[in-house]
Structure 1
Protein backbone atom coordinates (compact mmCIF):
# COMPACT_ATOMS: atom_id res chain seq x y z
CA UNK A 1 0.00 0.00 0.00
CA UNK A 2 2.80 2.43 0.89
CA UNK A 3 4.54 1.77 -2.41
CA UNK A 4 1.31 2.37 -4.30
CA UNK A 5 0.70 5.61 -2.41
CA UNK A 6 4.25 6.73 -3.13
CA UNK A 7 3.78 5.92 -6.83
CA UNK A 8 0.51 7.88 -6.97
CA UNK A 9 2.10 10.91 -5.30
CA UNK A 10 4.98 10.74 -7.75
CA UNK A 11 2.52 10.82 -10.66
CA UNK A 12 0.85 13.89 -9.14
CA UNK A 13 4.18 15.72 -8.84
CA UNK A 14 4.15 16.79 -12.49
CA UNK A 15 6.21 19.99 -12.39
CA UNK A 16 4.03 22.28 -14.60
CA UNK A 17 0.92 21.50 -12.53
CA UNK A 18 2.83 21.98 -9.28
CA UNK A 19 4.22 25.35 -10.38
CA UNK A 20 0.81 26.54 -11.55
CA UNK A 21 -0.95 25.41 -8.36
CA UNK A 22 1.67 26.75 -5.95
CA UNK A 23 2.00 30.05 -7.81
CA UNK A 24 -1.76 30.43 -7.82
CA UNK A 25 -1.93 29.89 -4.07
CA UNK A 26 0.79 32.49 -3.43
CA UNK A 27 -0.95 35.06 -5.66
CA UNK A 28 -4.35 34.42 -4.06
CA UNK A 29 -2.84 34.84 -0.59
CA UNK A 30 -1.33 38.15 -1.72
CA UNK A 31 -4.77 39.27 -2.92
CA UNK A 32 -6.26 38.93 0.58
CA UNK A 33 -7.04 42.05 2.58
CA UNK A 34 -4.11 43.18 4.69
CA UNK A 35 -5.48 46.48 5.94
CA UNK A 36 -8.62 48.62 5.92
CA UNK A 37 -7.91 52.37 5.85
CA UNK A 38 -9.86 55.15 7.56
CA UNK A 39 -12.23 55.49 4.60
CA UNK A 40 -13.13 51.81 4.74
CA UNK A 41 -11.11 50.93 1.63
CA UNK A 42 -9.58 47.46 1.75
CA UNK A 43 -5.91 47.26 0.86
CA UNK A 44 -4.49 43.96 -0.35
CA UNK A 45 -1.33 42.41 1.04
CA UNK A 46 0.21 42.79 -2.41
CA UNK A 47 -0.33 46.56 -2.25
CA UNK A 48 1.13 46.70 1.25
CA UNK A 49 4.35 45.14 -0.01
CA UNK A 50 5.15 48.44 -1.73
CA UNK A 51 4.46 50.29 1.53
CA UNK A 52 6.58 47.97 3.63
CA UNK A 53 8.90 50.73 4.78
CA UNK A 54 5.95 52.25 6.68
CA UNK A 55 4.87 48.97 8.24
CA UNK A 56 6.92 49.09 11.45
CA UNK A 57 4.42 50.96 13.63
CA UNK A 58 1.53 48.49 13.70
CA UNK A 59 1.88 44.84 14.70
CA UNK A 60 -1.06 44.00 12.43
CA UNK A 61 1.29 44.73 9.54
CA UNK A 62 4.04 42.46 10.77
CA UNK A 63 5.02 39.49 8.62
CA UNK A 64 3.33 36.97 10.93
CA UNK A 65 0.07 38.93 11.16
CA UNK A 66 -0.17 39.33 7.38
CA UNK A 67 0.74 35.67 6.91
CA UNK A 68 -2.30 34.74 8.96
CA UNK A 69 -4.43 37.28 7.07
CA UNK A 70 -3.59 35.57 3.78
CA UNK A 71 -6.28 32.93 4.38
CA UNK A 72 -9.33 34.62 2.96
CA UNK A 73 -10.63 36.52 -0.02
CA UNK A 74 -10.43 34.75 -3.37
CA UNK A 75 -8.25 31.99 -1.96
CA UNK A 76 -11.18 30.14 -0.39
CA UNK A 77 -13.01 30.30 -3.73
CA UNK A 78 -10.30 29.06 -6.09
CA UNK A 79 -8.23 26.86 -3.76
CA UNK A 80 -10.29 23.67 -4.38
CA UNK A 81 -9.60 23.81 -8.12
CA UNK A 82 -5.91 24.67 -7.76
CA UNK A 83 -5.31 21.93 -5.20
CA UNK A 84 -6.99 19.15 -7.16
CA UNK A 85 -6.23 20.24 -10.73
CA UNK A 86 -3.44 17.69 -11.22
CA UNK A 87 -5.52 14.93 -9.65
CA UNK A 88 -8.52 15.61 -11.89
CA UNK A 89 -6.40 15.64 -15.04
CA UNK A 90 -4.49 12.50 -14.05
CA UNK A 91 -7.59 10.46 -13.20
CA UNK A 92 -9.32 11.59 -16.39
CA UNK A 93 -6.28 10.56 -18.45
CA UNK A 94 -6.10 7.15 -16.76
CA UNK A 95 -9.76 6.57 -17.56
CA UNK A 96 -9.26 7.65 -21.14
CA UNK A 97 -6.29 5.39 -21.92
CA UNK A 98 -7.44 2.41 -19.85
CA UNK A 99 -4.67 2.50 -17.24
CA UNK A 100 -7.17 2.02 -14.43
CA UNK A 101 -7.84 -1.54 -15.60
CA UNK A 102 -4.10 -2.28 -15.52
CA UNK A 103 -3.62 -0.86 -12.00
CA UNK A 104 -6.64 -2.74 -10.65
CA UNK A 105 -5.51 -6.06 -12.10
CA UNK A 106 -2.06 -5.57 -10.59
CA UNK A 107 -3.02 -4.34 -7.12
CA UNK A 108 -6.72 -5.03 -6.53
CA UNK A 109 -9.76 -2.80 -6.22
CA UNK A 110 -9.47 -1.73 -2.60
CA UNK A 111 -5.75 -0.97 -2.64
CA UNK A 112 -6.04 1.03 -5.82
CA UNK A 113 -9.05 3.05 -4.63
CA UNK A 114 -7.62 3.78 -1.18
CA UNK A 115 -4.21 4.80 -2.54
CA UNK A 116 -5.88 6.97 -5.19
CA UNK A 117 -8.07 8.84 -2.70
CA UNK A 118 -5.30 9.19 -0.11
CA UNK A 119 -2.85 10.49 -2.71
CA UNK A 120 -5.34 13.17 -3.77
CA UNK A 121 -5.76 14.29 -0.16
CA UNK A 122 -2.04 14.27 0.63
CA UNK A 123 -1.10 16.01 -2.62
CA UNK A 124 -3.54 18.82 -1.86
CA UNK A 125 -2.10 19.22 1.62
CA UNK A 126 1.49 19.27 0.37
CA UNK A 127 0.77 21.74 -2.44
CA UNK A 128 -1.02 24.17 -0.14
CA UNK A 129 1.66 23.82 2.54
CA UNK A 130 4.39 24.71 0.04
CA UNK A 131 2.41 27.62 -1.39
CA UNK A 132 1.52 29.03 2.02
CA UNK A 133 5.10 28.62 3.27
CA UNK A 134 6.47 30.48 0.21
CA UNK A 135 3.91 33.22 0.82
CA UNK A 136 5.21 33.51 4.38
CA UNK A 137 8.85 33.69 3.24
CA UNK A 138 7.94 36.49 0.84
CA UNK A 139 6.38 38.44 3.70
CA UNK A 140 9.40 37.86 5.94
CA UNK A 141 11.58 39.54 3.31
CA UNK A 142 9.34 42.63 3.14
CA UNK A 143 7.73 43.12 6.55
CA UNK A 144 9.08 43.42 10.10
CA UNK A 145 9.16 40.52 12.52
CA UNK A 146 6.80 40.38 15.48
CA UNK A 147 9.93 40.46 17.67
CA UNK A 148 10.55 44.09 16.68
CA UNK A 149 7.43 45.22 18.55
CA UNK A 150 7.05 45.85 22.29
CA UNK A 151 6.80 42.76 24.51
CA UNK A 152 3.28 43.70 25.63
CA UNK A 153 2.02 43.82 22.03
CA UNK A 154 3.74 40.52 21.26
CA UNK A 155 2.07 38.76 24.19
CA UNK A 156 -1.37 40.02 23.20
CA UNK A 157 -0.88 39.08 19.56
CA UNK A 158 0.59 35.63 20.27
CA UNK A 159 -1.99 34.84 22.99
CA UNK A 160 0.75 33.78 25.37
CA UNK A 161 2.34 31.37 22.88
CA UNK A 162 5.75 31.57 21.20
CA UNK A 163 6.43 32.57 17.62
CA UNK A 164 7.83 29.14 16.80
CA UNK A 165 4.74 27.32 18.08
CA UNK A 166 2.40 29.69 16.23
CA UNK A 167 4.30 29.13 12.98
CA UNK A 168 4.33 25.35 13.48
CA UNK A 169 0.58 25.28 14.14
CA UNK A 170 -0.07 27.38 11.05
CA UNK A 171 2.00 25.07 8.87
CA UNK A 172 0.18 22.00 10.20
CA UNK A 173 -3.09 23.85 9.68
CA UNK A 174 -2.05 24.72 6.11
CA UNK A 175 -1.45 21.04 5.35
CA UNK A 176 -4.86 20.08 6.79
CA UNK A 177 -6.52 22.97 4.93
CA UNK A 178 -5.02 21.72 1.67
CA UNK A 179 -6.39 18.24 2.34
CA UNK A 180 -9.84 19.66 3.12
CA UNK A 181 -9.79 21.95 0.09
CA UNK A 182 -8.95 19.01 -2.17
CA UNK A 183 -12.00 17.03 -1.13
CA UNK A 184 -14.26 18.89 -3.59
CA UNK A 185 -12.06 18.23 -6.62
CA UNK A 186 -11.27 14.64 -5.63
CA UNK A 187 -14.96 13.90 -5.14
CA UNK A 188 -15.93 15.39 -8.49
CA UNK A 189 -13.15 13.51 -10.30
CA UNK A 190 -14.30 10.21 -8.81
CA UNK A 191 -18.02 10.63 -9.48
CA UNK A 192 -18.14 12.53 -12.79
CA UNK A 193 -16.61 12.11 -16.27
CA UNK A 194 -17.82 15.15 -18.21
CA UNK A 195 -15.02 17.71 -18.71
CA UNK A 196 -17.29 20.68 -18.02
CA UNK A 197 -18.47 19.07 -14.80
CA UNK A 198 -14.87 18.47 -13.74
CA UNK A 199 -14.03 22.14 -14.26
CA UNK A 200 -17.15 23.76 -12.81
CA UNK A 201 -18.39 21.49 -10.04
CA UNK A 202 -15.53 21.96 -7.53
CA UNK A 203 -16.31 25.71 -7.50
CA UNK A 204 -20.06 25.12 -7.31
CA UNK A 205 -19.93 22.53 -4.53
CA UNK A 206 -17.51 24.69 -2.55
CA UNK A 207 -19.84 27.69 -2.96
CA UNK A 208 -22.97 25.74 -1.97
CA UNK A 209 -21.19 24.30 1.07
CA UNK A 210 -20.15 27.77 2.24
CA UNK A 211 -23.62 29.21 1.63
CA UNK A 212 -25.19 26.47 3.75
CA UNK A 213 -22.77 27.19 6.59
CA UNK A 214 -23.42 30.94 6.27
CA UNK A 215 -27.19 30.40 6.51
CA UNK A 216 -26.80 28.16 9.57
CA UNK A 217 -24.44 30.69 11.16
CA UNK A 218 -26.90 33.53 10.53
CA UNK A 219 -29.72 31.55 12.15
CA UNK A 220 -27.51 30.75 15.13
CA UNK A 221 -26.59 34.43 15.57
CA UNK A 222 -30.25 35.45 15.37
CA UNK A 223 -31.06 32.92 18.10
CA UNK A 224 -27.98 34.01 20.10
CA UNK A 225 -26.89 30.36 20.17
CA UNK A 226 -23.17 31.09 20.47
CA UNK A 227 -22.10 27.52 21.19
CA UNK A 228 -23.89 26.32 18.06
CA UNK A 229 -22.33 29.19 16.11
CA UNK A 230 -18.83 28.14 17.17
CA UNK A 231 -19.50 24.57 16.09
CA UNK A 232 -20.84 25.71 12.71
CA UNK A 233 -17.79 27.92 12.14
CA UNK A 234 -15.57 24.93 12.96
CA UNK A 235 -16.80 23.22 9.77
CA UNK A 236 -15.50 26.02 7.55
CA UNK A 237 -12.37 24.76 5.77
CA UNK A 238 -10.43 27.89 6.72
CA UNK A 239 -11.15 27.31 10.44
CA UNK A 240 -8.89 24.27 10.31
CA UNK A 241 -5.98 26.74 10.22
CA UNK A 242 -6.78 27.93 13.76
CA UNK A 243 -5.24 25.08 15.70
CA UNK A 244 -4.64 27.40 18.65
CA UNK A 245 -8.35 28.21 19.12
CA UNK A 246 -9.48 25.28 21.24
CA UNK A 247 -10.43 21.95 19.69
CA UNK A 248 -13.28 23.07 17.44
CA UNK A 249 -10.98 22.74 14.42
CA UNK A 250 -10.94 18.98 15.04
CA UNK A 251 -14.57 18.85 13.86
CA UNK A 252 -13.32 19.83 10.40
CA UNK A 253 -10.77 17.00 10.51
CA UNK A 254 -13.50 14.49 11.43
CA UNK A 255 -15.77 15.74 8.64
CA UNK A 256 -12.93 15.70 6.12
CA UNK A 257 -11.92 12.15 7.08
CA UNK A 258 -15.51 10.93 6.85
CA UNK A 259 -15.93 12.43 3.37
CA UNK A 260 -12.74 10.81 2.11
CA UNK A 261 -13.86 7.43 3.48
CA UNK A 262 -17.19 7.81 1.65
CA UNK A 263 -15.36 8.78 -1.56
CA UNK A 264 -13.12 5.71 -1.29
CA UNK A 265 -16.21 3.48 -0.93
CA UNK A 266 -17.91 5.16 -3.91
CA UNK A 267 -14.76 4.78 -6.00
CA UNK A 268 -14.46 1.11 -5.00
CA UNK A 269 -18.02 0.31 -6.09
CA UNK A 270 -17.44 2.26 -9.31
CA UNK A 271 -14.39 0.24 -10.35
CA UNK A 272 -15.89 -3.00 -9.04
CA UNK A 273 -18.71 -2.80 -11.55
CA UNK A 274 -16.20 -2.10 -14.32
CA UNK A 275 -16.84 1.64 -14.68
CA UNK A 276 -13.31 2.47 -15.87
CA UNK A 277 -13.85 4.38 -19.06
CA UNK A 278 -13.89 8.10 -19.66
Structure 2
Protein backbone atom coordinates (compact mmCIF):
# COMPACT_ATOMS: atom_id res chain seq x y z
CA UNK A 1 0.00 0.00 0.00
CA UNK A 2 2.92 2.35 0.66
CA UNK A 3 3.85 2.61 -3.02
CA UNK A 4 0.23 3.08 -4.03
CA UNK A 5 -0.21 5.76 -1.36
CA UNK A 6 2.87 7.58 -2.63
CA UNK A 7 1.49 7.48 -6.17
CA UNK A 8 -1.87 8.70 -4.89
CA UNK A 9 -0.28 11.62 -3.03
CA UNK A 10 1.84 12.47 -6.05
CA UNK A 11 -1.32 12.44 -8.17
CA UNK A 12 -3.24 14.80 -5.93
CA UNK A 13 -0.49 17.32 -5.20
CA UNK A 14 0.35 17.63 -8.89
CA UNK A 15 -3.28 18.06 -9.86
CA UNK A 16 -4.91 21.22 -11.17
CA UNK A 17 -7.72 20.74 -8.64
CA UNK A 18 -5.40 20.89 -5.64
CA UNK A 19 -3.81 24.14 -6.78
CA UNK A 20 -7.21 25.56 -7.67
CA UNK A 21 -8.33 24.92 -4.08
CA UNK A 22 -5.05 26.29 -2.72
CA UNK A 23 -5.36 29.60 -4.58
CA UNK A 24 -9.06 29.85 -3.79
CA UNK A 25 -8.10 29.74 -0.12
CA UNK A 26 -5.43 32.38 -0.65
CA UNK A 27 -7.92 34.50 -2.57
CA UNK A 28 -10.60 34.20 0.11
CA UNK A 29 -8.09 35.31 2.75
CA UNK A 30 -7.00 38.30 0.68
CA UNK A 31 -10.65 39.17 0.11
CA UNK A 32 -11.11 39.37 3.86
CA UNK A 33 -7.96 41.41 4.40
CA UNK A 34 -8.07 43.87 1.50
CA UNK A 35 -10.77 46.31 2.74
CA UNK A 36 -8.88 46.65 6.01
CA UNK A 37 -5.37 46.95 4.63
CA UNK A 38 -5.26 50.75 4.95
CA UNK A 39 -5.57 50.41 8.73
CA UNK A 40 -2.97 47.63 8.97
CA UNK A 41 -0.19 49.65 10.56
CA UNK A 42 -2.50 50.66 13.38
CA UNK A 43 -4.42 47.39 13.82
CA UNK A 44 -1.43 45.11 13.31
CA UNK A 45 -0.66 41.84 11.58
CA UNK A 46 -2.65 39.59 13.89
CA UNK A 47 -5.87 41.48 13.32
CA UNK A 48 -5.32 41.14 9.58
CA UNK A 49 -5.09 37.39 10.03
CA UNK A 50 -8.41 37.36 11.88
CA UNK A 51 -9.94 39.34 9.00
CA UNK A 52 -8.63 36.69 6.63
CA UNK A 53 -10.00 33.86 8.75
CA UNK A 54 -13.42 34.83 10.07
CA UNK A 55 -13.71 38.39 11.41
CA UNK A 56 -15.52 41.15 9.52
CA UNK A 57 -18.20 41.36 6.87
CA UNK A 58 -15.79 40.61 4.02
CA UNK A 59 -14.43 37.39 5.50
CA UNK A 60 -15.54 34.49 3.29
CA UNK A 61 -12.92 31.85 4.17
CA UNK A 62 -15.02 30.35 6.96
CA UNK A 63 -18.06 30.20 4.66
CA UNK A 64 -16.52 28.42 1.69
CA UNK A 65 -13.94 26.28 3.55
CA UNK A 66 -15.93 22.99 3.27
CA UNK A 67 -16.33 23.55 -0.46
CA UNK A 68 -12.63 24.23 -0.97
CA UNK A 69 -11.63 21.19 1.11
CA UNK A 70 -13.55 18.92 -1.25
CA UNK A 71 -12.15 20.37 -4.48
CA UNK A 72 -8.72 18.69 -4.65
CA UNK A 73 -9.59 14.98 -4.47
CA UNK A 74 -13.03 14.16 -3.06
CA UNK A 75 -14.44 13.34 -6.50
CA UNK A 76 -11.48 11.13 -7.47
CA UNK A 77 -13.38 7.89 -6.84
CA UNK A 78 -16.09 9.02 -9.26
CA UNK A 79 -13.42 9.65 -11.90
CA UNK A 80 -11.80 6.26 -11.27
CA UNK A 81 -15.17 4.53 -11.70
CA UNK A 82 -16.20 6.41 -14.82
CA UNK A 83 -12.84 6.11 -16.58
CA UNK A 84 -12.43 2.40 -15.89
CA UNK A 85 -9.13 3.13 -14.14
CA UNK A 86 -10.54 1.43 -11.04
CA UNK A 87 -10.44 -1.97 -12.74
CA UNK A 88 -6.77 -1.47 -13.55
CA UNK A 89 -6.05 -0.48 -9.93
CA UNK A 90 -7.78 -3.59 -8.59
CA UNK A 91 -5.41 -5.75 -10.61
CA UNK A 92 -2.53 -4.30 -8.61
CA UNK A 93 -4.15 -3.53 -5.24
CA UNK A 94 -6.98 -4.91 -3.11
CA UNK A 95 -10.12 -2.86 -2.51
CA UNK A 96 -9.09 -2.58 1.12
CA UNK A 97 -5.72 -1.02 0.27
CA UNK A 98 -7.28 1.23 -2.33
CA UNK A 99 -9.90 2.53 0.12
CA UNK A 100 -7.38 3.21 2.89
CA UNK A 101 -4.95 4.91 0.53
CA UNK A 102 -7.66 7.09 -0.98
CA UNK A 103 -8.99 8.10 2.46
CA UNK A 104 -5.51 9.15 3.61
CA UNK A 105 -4.51 11.02 0.44
CA UNK A 106 -7.84 12.81 0.14
CA UNK A 107 -7.84 13.80 3.82
CA UNK A 108 -4.31 15.19 3.61
CA UNK A 109 -5.21 17.16 0.49
CA UNK A 110 -8.29 18.64 2.18
CA UNK A 111 -6.36 19.57 5.31
CA UNK A 112 -3.38 21.09 3.55
CA UNK A 113 -5.43 23.09 1.06
CA UNK A 114 -7.11 24.93 3.95
CA UNK A 115 -4.31 25.16 6.52
CA UNK A 116 -1.17 25.86 4.50
CA UNK A 117 -2.52 29.07 2.88
CA UNK A 118 -3.51 30.32 6.34
CA UNK A 119 0.05 29.75 7.54
CA UNK A 120 1.41 31.58 4.49
CA UNK A 121 -0.97 34.49 5.12
CA UNK A 122 0.10 34.64 8.78
CA UNK A 123 3.80 34.73 7.88
CA UNK A 124 3.19 37.32 5.16
CA UNK A 125 1.26 39.79 7.32
CA UNK A 126 3.79 39.39 10.14
CA UNK A 127 6.61 40.27 7.72
CA UNK A 128 4.98 43.40 6.32
CA UNK A 129 3.05 44.79 9.29
CA UNK A 130 3.71 45.32 13.01
CA UNK A 131 2.91 42.42 15.29
CA UNK A 132 0.66 43.67 18.05
CA UNK A 133 -2.30 42.39 20.04
CA UNK A 134 -5.53 42.44 18.07
CA UNK A 135 -8.60 43.89 19.69
CA UNK A 136 -11.60 41.70 18.85
CA UNK A 137 -13.90 42.66 21.67
CA UNK A 138 -14.94 39.88 24.01
CA UNK A 139 -13.67 36.60 22.58
CA UNK A 140 -15.74 33.71 23.94
CA UNK A 141 -16.25 30.02 23.42
CA UNK A 142 -13.69 27.24 23.12
CA UNK A 143 -10.02 28.17 23.62
CA UNK A 144 -10.97 31.72 24.71
CA UNK A 145 -8.61 31.48 27.68
CA UNK A 146 -5.73 30.82 25.28
CA UNK A 147 -6.64 33.89 23.21
CA UNK A 148 -6.14 36.17 26.22
CA UNK A 149 -2.87 34.46 27.14
CA UNK A 150 -1.34 34.31 23.66
CA UNK A 151 -3.02 35.41 20.46
CA UNK A 152 -0.30 33.74 18.40
CA UNK A 153 -1.04 30.44 20.10
CA UNK A 154 -4.75 30.95 19.47
CA UNK A 155 -4.04 31.59 15.79
CA UNK A 156 -2.04 28.37 15.55
CA UNK A 157 -4.99 26.55 17.11
CA UNK A 158 -7.20 28.03 14.38
CA UNK A 159 -4.78 26.78 11.74
CA UNK A 160 -4.67 23.28 13.26
CA UNK A 161 -8.47 23.24 13.45
CA UNK A 162 -8.58 24.28 9.79
CA UNK A 163 -6.34 21.33 8.91
CA UNK A 164 -8.54 18.87 10.83
CA UNK A 165 -11.69 20.49 9.44
CA UNK A 166 -10.35 20.21 5.89
CA UNK A 167 -9.44 16.55 6.37
CA UNK A 168 -12.89 15.68 7.63
CA UNK A 169 -14.98 17.64 5.14
CA UNK A 170 -12.87 16.28 2.29
CA UNK A 171 -13.66 12.81 3.64
CA UNK A 172 -17.38 13.63 3.68
CA UNK A 173 -17.15 14.44 -0.03
CA UNK A 174 -15.23 11.23 -0.66
CA UNK A 175 -17.85 9.24 1.23
CA UNK A 176 -20.71 10.48 -0.94
CA UNK A 177 -18.66 9.66 -4.05
CA UNK A 178 -18.96 5.98 -3.14
CA UNK A 179 -22.70 6.17 -3.78
CA UNK A 180 -22.87 8.46 -6.81
CA UNK A 181 -21.10 9.00 -10.12
CA UNK A 182 -21.72 12.74 -9.97
CA UNK A 183 -18.37 14.34 -9.17
CA UNK A 184 -19.97 17.74 -8.59
CA UNK A 185 -22.16 16.30 -5.85
CA UNK A 186 -19.01 14.99 -4.14
CA UNK A 187 -17.68 18.57 -4.09
CA UNK A 188 -20.82 20.44 -2.97
CA UNK A 189 -22.22 17.86 -0.52
CA UNK A 190 -19.79 18.81 2.32
CA UNK A 191 -20.89 22.43 1.92
CA UNK A 192 -24.52 21.46 2.58
CA UNK A 193 -23.49 19.29 5.54
CA UNK A 194 -21.89 22.46 6.90
CA UNK A 195 -24.58 24.96 5.92
CA UNK A 196 -27.90 23.25 6.64
CA UNK A 197 -27.26 22.64 10.38
CA UNK A 198 -26.18 26.29 10.67
CA UNK A 199 -29.71 27.22 9.59
CA UNK A 200 -31.64 24.54 11.48
CA UNK A 201 -29.75 24.03 14.75
CA UNK A 202 -30.33 27.55 16.18
CA UNK A 203 -34.07 27.02 15.82
CA UNK A 204 -33.83 24.17 18.33
CA UNK A 205 -31.32 25.87 20.60
CA UNK A 206 -28.41 23.76 19.32
CA UNK A 207 -26.33 26.60 17.93
CA UNK A 208 -23.44 25.71 20.27
CA UNK A 209 -22.82 22.57 18.20
CA UNK A 210 -23.53 23.84 14.70
CA UNK A 211 -20.66 23.08 12.31
CA UNK A 212 -19.14 26.56 12.01
CA UNK A 213 -18.00 26.31 15.64
CA UNK A 214 -15.54 23.58 14.64
CA UNK A 215 -13.77 26.07 12.38
CA UNK A 216 -14.51 29.27 14.36
CA UNK A 217 -14.42 28.30 18.05
CA UNK A 218 -15.33 31.85 19.12
CA UNK A 219 -18.56 31.75 17.07
CA UNK A 220 -20.64 30.75 20.09
CA UNK A 221 -20.18 31.50 23.78
CA UNK A 222 -21.39 28.04 24.83
CA UNK A 223 -19.14 26.01 22.56
CA UNK A 224 -16.51 23.96 24.37
CA UNK A 225 -13.41 22.14 23.20
CA UNK A 226 -15.07 18.76 23.76
CA UNK A 227 -18.07 19.78 21.62
CA UNK A 228 -15.74 20.64 18.76
CA UNK A 229 -13.74 17.42 18.84
CA UNK A 230 -16.74 15.15 19.44
CA UNK A 231 -18.51 16.66 16.43
CA UNK A 232 -15.44 16.36 14.22
CA UNK A 233 -14.79 12.84 15.47
CA UNK A 234 -18.33 11.68 14.68
CA UNK A 235 -18.18 13.18 11.19
CA UNK A 236 -14.84 11.49 10.57
CA UNK A 237 -16.06 8.07 11.72
CA UNK A 238 -19.32 8.22 9.76
CA UNK A 239 -17.71 9.43 6.53
CA UNK A 240 -14.73 7.06 6.71
CA UNK A 241 -16.87 4.00 7.42
CA UNK A 242 -19.33 4.99 4.69
CA UNK A 243 -16.63 5.25 2.05
CA UNK A 244 -14.90 2.07 3.17
CA UNK A 245 -18.14 0.08 3.06
CA UNK A 246 -19.06 1.60 -0.29
CA UNK A 247 -15.76 0.50 -1.80
CA UNK A 248 -14.98 -2.77 -0.04
CA UNK A 249 -18.27 -4.35 0.98
CA UNK A 250 -20.65 -3.16 -1.71
CA UNK A 251 -18.05 -3.25 -4.42
CA UNK A 252 -19.02 -0.06 -6.20
TM-score between the two structures when normalised by the length of structure 2: 0.76
Q: CA deviation at 1:239?
A: 3.4
Corresponding residue for residue 12 of structure 1: 12
Structure 2: distance between partners of 1:64 and 1:167: 8
Q: Which has the larger radius of gyration?
A: 1
Q: Deviations over 1:129-184 (max 9, x none)?
A: 111112223322443211799xxxxxx99512374x34543332232232234244
1:178 aligns with 2:166: yes
Q: CA deviation at 1:15?
A: 4.5
Structural RMSD (CA): 3.3
Q: Deviations over 1:44-87 (max 9, x none)?
A: x21222x14xx444xxx221122133223422332222222121
The number of equivalent residue pairs is: 236
Structure 2: distance between partners of 1:233 and 1:260: 16
Structure 2: distance between partners of 1:7 and 1:247: 40
Corresponding residue for residue 223 of structure 1: none
1:237 aligns with 2:199: no
Runs (4+) of structure 1 exceeding 4 A deviation are: none
Corresponding residue for residue 41 of structure 1: none
Q: CA contact under 8 A between 2:110 and 2:167: conserved in structure 1?
A: yes
Summarize the alignment of residues 26-65 of structure 1 with structure 2, pairs less than 5 Å apart: 26-32=26-32, 45-49=33-37, 51-52=38-39, 55-57=40-42, 61-65=43-47
Corresponding residue for residue 140 of structure 2: none
Structure 1: distance between partners of 2:161 and 2:185: 29
Summarize the alignment of residues 1-278 of structure 1 with structure 2, pairs less than 5 Å apart: 1-32=1-32, 45-49=33-37, 51-52=38-39, 55-57=40-42, 61-72=43-54, 73-146=59-132, 158-161=147-150, 163=152, 165-216=153-204, 219=205, 230=208, 232=209, 236-239=213-216, 248-271=224-247, 272-275=249-252
Change (3 A) 1:116 1:258: farther
3-state SS, counterpart of residue 253 of structure 1: helix
Change (3 A) 1:70 1:15: same
TM-score between the two structures when normalised by the length of structure 1: 0.70
